[in-house]
Structure 1
């Protein structure tokens, strides 16, 4: 599959799944822009492969997100940026809740809205939100994160219906616990709060994925590429689970 001539944007592209998606899209021939808040991390990814340019951007800032599109529309937009936090719901502050909503849901809304605005009048476009299996079910101790990710899925399904007849697809990729730095931070939290070993904590998280292992970021990137390919033109408004579990 060739994406030569396509312009792609990946939010949260400085590490983990975002970096992996950016490299995969660039390898397929797309001209890729990555954005995030950590300039050094973004530069490392941009320097790791040809065809990737870096932009610093806070995706919760409406003007900043609009600025990403100032130089022209993108053909492919991967709304990947997100954060996670863990606490019992009864100990979760309003500020913590708002932080999860701001980055995971509001950031996705702003990104997807600008993506679709830029695609108006075109006959091809791919918008892909990197959501989570927390879009499909609840998880204890991450209620605000799950609420935000459920919102992302509602946003995706609704947007998909609005543009379904225009050659533009909008889908969500929903991985379980990933083999990324974000999961490593979750492991650190479990170790700190329970005294369990890192191996036990890692196994606990991996066990929530039906296949019993953490999801490789490359699997997410391959799914993103498939959604950009010719065999997926009729796939829209879908939540594609990458964990061996739920699909819809």
Structure 2
């Protein structure tokens, strides 16, 4: 038996990176997964690979309320119910805070913060109607501390923790648990944009990132998206049945303190 047998879960940002690995793992554990993203070609390809019986792809711009309503309808048409949500979609922009254009700041808020809010607001009633379930929000290491040059991103991730705690309190009576994963650096295209640059040497880019996090992270390496997926699985499955309203840091010890070595 799988840990998610009988569950139907929407995963946003599921076409690549952490979302892709979450979708793959959830299907392995018996869930029906609705893959939601704006990267249609990659999302469709992944859904085809996972199989129609287990996965469907829907186009979802998480900042758009109408897209959420459409995604919920597609999920119910395909699998009859929804009892899980992983709010994984997000964007990252690097900029000095005082140099950040308002348009850029608002764009990050719309995707990361408003997208999470709309996901909770739209999907929670469906989860309640299904008899309860789980919501996992993707926050960040930066939700627990500060980091220079990612002011917009850090602000939205702090906000996601607030949404997580309030939602956990308000939805507990409907049998809905709400928690947050807080990854540090993870080896995905968002953390390492060189993965998306066709002119970059992938080995050189990966080696540079590996060397950076060897110095920064106590465990001596960047995280793997599969490791974040395993945490999302724990928070979605029955093993975490008495946990709600909590942030879970997964960062190789980065937040623990500063090394002088």
User: Which TM-score applies when normalising by structure 2?
Assistant: 0.85
What is the CA distance between 1:58 and its match in structure 2?
0.8
Q: Determine the C-alpha separation between the residues in 2 that align with 1:207 and 1:121.
A: 48
The corresponding residue for 1:103 is 111
The corresponding residue for 2:141 is 133
Q: Determine the C-alpha separation between the residues in 2 that align with 1:156 and 1:212.
A: 30
Q: Determine the C-alpha separation between the residues in 1 that align with 2:91 and 2:215.
A: 21
Alignment of 1:118-129 (within 5 A): 118-129=126-137
Q: Secondary structure at the match of 1:69?
A: helix
The corresponding residue for 1:77 is 85
What is the CA distance between 1:203 and its match in structure 2?
2.7
Summarize the Cα distance change of 1:207–1:118 in structure 2 as closer, same or farther, 3 Å threshold: farther
Summarize the Cα distance change of 1:76–1:188 in structure 2 as closer, same or farther, 3 Å threshold: closer
What is the CA distance between 1:227 and its match in structure 2?
1.3
What is the CA distance between 1:202 and its match in structure 2?
4.5
The corresponding residue for 1:225 is 233
The corresponding residue for 1:161 is 169
Q: Secondary structure at the match of 1:25?
A: helix
The corresponding residue for 1:52 is 55
What is the CA distance between 1:91 and its match in structure 2?
1.3
5+ long unaligned stretches in structure 1: none
Query: Is contact 2:210-2:221 (8 Å) kept?
Result: no
Correspondent of 1:148 among 115, 131, 156: 156
Q: Determine the C-alpha separation between the residues in 2 that align with 1:129 and 1:218.
A: 16
Q: Determine the C-alpha separation between the residues in 1 that align with 2:172 and 2:19.
A: 26
What is the CA distance between 1:112 and its match in structure 2?
1.3
Aligned residues: 241
Q: Determine the C-alpha separation between the residues in 2 that align with 1:164 and 1:19.
A: 28
CA offsets, 1:46-76, max 9 Å, x none? 1222311111111111111122112534111
The corresponding residue for 1:15 is 16
Q: Determine the C-alpha separation between the residues in 1 that align with 2:84 and 2:129.
A: 15
Query: Is contact 1:177-1:208 (8 Å) kept?
Result: no
5+ long unaligned stretches in structure 2: 257-261
What is the CA distance between 1:188 and its match in structure 2?
8.9
Correspondent of 1:113 among 118, 121, 146: 121
CA offsets, 1:139-171, max 9 Å, x none? 110000000111011100110011223321000
Summarize the Cα distance change of 1:201–1:88 in structure 2 as closer, same or farther, 3 Å threshold: farther
Summarize the Cα distance change of 1:143–1:82 in structure 2 as closer, same or farther, 3 Å threshold: same
The corresponding residue for 1:26 is 27
Cα root mean square deviation, aligned: 2.2
User: Which TM-score applies when normalising by structure 1?
Assistant: 0.90
